């Protein structure tokens, strides 16, 4: 098992775009969600990964397994219907860390969320100037919720 320690923030403006080092489109869907456990499929750059996340706020248990691309795409199209997200993830270097800025599409267009993975929960990352309100642990902004709920406030 890994433990994913992550803080999440809304993003203000486009100041982050100048520092993007990499961008990739992510197609993800949730097979099922129950009692804080989420089973997610993600397809990006021709690879497919099944991820199991446990309950938690900033720190969550996480297990990841590669799955065949064709089967993942089939499941995304069928078993994940109504529980899908498409977003473009941008890597942005700041203060020695890589921030991931996710620009959502479709019904979530206009929503931009920045995530940063930390080595431990006590670590205090330098916040870039384009960072807005923190949404770590806010269930409305969890990807598993965004995949099927009404869109939450953007700012």
Question: Which residues contact a second copy (rule: CB under 8 A)?
Answer: 1, 30-35, 37-39, 50, 52, 54, 61, 63, 65, 67, 71, 74-75, 78-79, 82-83
What minimum distance in Å lies between the beta carbon of 52 and a second copy? 6
Q: Give CA–CA dist 111/78, Å, rounded.
A: 25
| CB of 14 or CB of 35, closer to a second copy | 35
CB of 71 to a second copy, least distance (A): 6
CA 37, distance to chain mean position in Å, is 15
For residue 17, count other CB atoms closer than 10 A to its CB. Answer: 13
Classified as helix, coil or strand, 54 is: coil
At closest approach, how far in Å is the CB of 48 from a second copy? 11
Contact assessment for residue 89 and residue 27, using Cβ atoms and an 8 Å cutoff: no
Residue placing its CB nearer to a second copy in the complex, 75 or 101: 75
């Amino acid at each position: 098992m890994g433990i994913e320690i992550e803080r999440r923030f809304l993003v203000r403006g486009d100041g982050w775009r100048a520092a993007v080092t990499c961008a990739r489109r992510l197609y993800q869907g949730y097979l099922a969600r129950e009692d804080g456990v989420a089973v997610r499929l993600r397809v990006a750059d021709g690879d497919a990964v099944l991820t199991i996340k446990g309950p938690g706020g900033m720190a969550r248990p996480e297990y990841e397994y590669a799955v065949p691309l064709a089967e993942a795409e089939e499941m995304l199209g069928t078993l994940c219907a109504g529980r899908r997200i498409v977003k473009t993830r941008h890597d942005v270097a700041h203060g020695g860390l890589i921030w991931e800025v996710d620009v959502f599409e479709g019904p979530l267009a206009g929503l931009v969320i920045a995530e940063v993975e930390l080595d431990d929960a006590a670590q205090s990352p330098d916040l870039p100037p384009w960072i807005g309100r923190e949404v770590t642990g806010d269930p409305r902004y969890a990807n598993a919720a965004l995949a099927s709920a009404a869109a939450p406030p953007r700012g």
